[in-house]
Every structure is written in structure tokens, then in C-alpha cells.
Amino acid sequence: MDAIIEERRALIDALDDELVRLLNRRAQLAVEVGGLKRRDATPMRDSERERQVLTRIRRANTGPFNDDAMTRIFQCIIDESRSMEESIAQTSPEQTVRPQIPKVPELASEIDYSKA
């Protein structure tokens, strides 16, 4: 197979690994938010917050995904996050394990996206 294709696939694999890490980090934060909502007796679903997230994502999108595709991707992420929040809300506080969340500054700074 073409060496350039193999190189690009290796870059895609590295980006996929980073996406998995970032999505799991986001999920950890969603679990924490769900616990705080439960503590404060706040509804799990916040439609206004979801609209804000999707609007921000569309503004940040520079392609090649179009805005509709990016909205569908993030709607799925939001739906899965809400499911996790709701499952946390159904457990007792004693059963909830507080996730260990790394510090935010190292979010994605290690990746050189210019080669992608």
C-alpha cells in the first residue's frame, strides 16, 4: 500500500486515540455535573445549555464537516453525557465514585494537528 496512505492512517489513528481520551475526559466532567445537579436537585436536562453548546460548536466549526454534521455528532455526545448524568442521579451519594479529572491545561496541546 502507498506509504502516504499508511502515514495518513497512522495520523488518523493517533487523532482517534486523542478523541477517545478527550471524550472520556468530557464524560468524567459530565458525571461530576450530574452529581452536582443531583446534590442541588436541579433537573438533569438543560435545554438552554444544550442549545448554547451546539451554537458554540457551529461557530467554532471551520470544516470540512458541515454544521449539520457537526451538530449531529455533538448531539450524540450530549445525549450520551445526559444518559450518564441520569444514571448517576439514580445512585445514592454513597455509591457515586467521584472521578479523578486531570488538570485542564494539557487538554490537546501535545498533538501536532498540522500533519493531519
Residue 111 lies in a domain: no
Confidence (pLDDT) at 116: 47
- 45 located within any domain: yes
pLDDT at 3 over 50: yes
Phi and psi at residue 79, to the nearest 5°: -60, -45
pLDDT given at position 43: 87
Q: How many domains does the chain have?
A: 1
Phi, psi of 91 (to 5 degrees): -95, 160
Residue 64: domain span: 3-92
The pLDDT tens digits for 87-102 are 776 765 555 445 444 4
Give the pLDDT mean for 51-72. Answer: 97
Q: Does residue 14 contact residue 67 with C-beta atoms inside 8 Å?
A: no
Residue recorded with cell 482517534: 16
Give dist(CA 32, CA 20) in Å, integer.
Answer: 18
